[in-house]
Chain A
Amino acid sequence: EDQVTQSPEALRLQEGESSSLNCSYTVSGLRGLFWYRQDPGKGPEFLFTLYSAGEEKEKERLKATLTKKESFLHITAPKPEDSATYLCAAFAGGSYIPTFGRGTSLIVHP
């Protein structure tokens, strides 16, 4: 059974304090891994797709990386507006139905 586990469940940072969120996956034949940002009461907003180990994607203060077992979302010098829940999802096989993790709730204090 495909599984995606995100850690930590919650993270509190001070503004400017860099950190990383983890997404570990057990998926047979990974086709790709998604990262999303979700604000309270809103739909997830697509951030990145990573397709192969070693791949990296960047957007503003966010950088996503992928290994054969896990993905990291690095947040450099975060700002309060980066506060959100970050979801990752892995998809495999021919159906392309992703398996979602439960998310990491990030709060950045000014």
Chain B
Amino acid sequence: DADVTQTPRNRITKTGKRIMLECSQTKGHDRMYWYRQDPGLGLRLIYYSFDVKDINKGEISDGYSVSRQAQAKFSLSLESAIPNQTALYFCATSELGTSGSRRNEQFFGPGTRLTVL
């Protein structure tokens, strides 16, 4: 079974609709992240959470919100979808890093392809 799962895998919606993308993980990691990927632009960080009570904006948080329901669950919402939010969305997790830790690599889910018409 996959360690990081995302639902839905594909979604087509219309401008103005509210959309929620969900991420669950069984890796037991404290840190979770949401990225979007666009051709030619690479991965861009939307939001990240270091634990259930900690939520932080990334470089492109406008138009998005998140909820960390539990250590294992992190949801991304588009309150009112617009066409330029059409992209591939990835959830990722990592262990809690410390200055002496060598376990800081991120593990990614399979992605959600979102199309906003």
Contact = CB atoms under 8 A, between A and B. Distances in A.
Contacts of A45: 108
A43 B97 contact: no
Interface residues of B, number: 25
Nearest to B107: A46
Contacts of A98: 106
A44 B108 contact: yes
Contacts of A97: 45, 48, 58
A102 B97 CA distance: 24
Contacts, number: 50
Nearest to B110: A43
Contacts of B105: 34, 46, 49
A71 B17 CA distance: 43
B106 A46 contact: yes
Interface in A7-38: 31-32, 34, 36
A41 B108 contact: no
Contacts of A91: 104
A102 B104 contact: no
Q: For A41, A43, A87, A94, which residue has the most chain B Cβ atoms within 10 angstroms?
A: A43
A100 B42 CA distance: 7
A16 to B, nearest CB: 30
B104 A101 contact: no
Nearest to B111: A43
Contacts of B108: 36, 43-46
Interface of A: 31-32, 34, 36, 41-46, 49, 51, 87, 89, 91, 94, 96-98, 100-103
